[in-house]
Amino acid sequence: MALSTMMRIKPNDITDAVNSIPVLLRDTLMKYVYKGFENPKDYSSSALLTWHEKVLAATGLGSIVRVLTDRRTV
């Protein structure tokens, strides 16, 4: 459901969408991006790469490390 909603947001609006999410939940957003990468047939890889870029810009490299080491998934 979250990934479907993310795919409906226009690329020009992604930065605003990321910035509107509370800082503590941005790692969760990054988890959804990686979840989308697991099913490339279901979601647009180019859109997910744009989301990844924008979330990374807002959170830094620490977000990737936290997502990849967290055992809790989405």
Please write the tens of the pLDDT for every residue from 3-61: 999 999 999 999 999 999 999 999 999 999 999 999 888 889 999 999 999 999 999 99
CATH class of 2-69: mainly alpha
Q: Is 47 helix (H, G, I), strand (E, B) or coil?
A: helix
Domain boundaries in the chain? 2-69
Residue in the structure block whose two tokens are 């605003």? 16
Q: Is 63's pLDDT higher than 90?
A: yes
pLDDT at site 72: 92
pTM over 0.85: yes
Residue in the structure block whose two tokens are 């998934």? 73
Residue in the structure block whose two tokens are 């620490």? 62
Can you read off the two tokens belonging to residue 71?
Answer: 């055992």
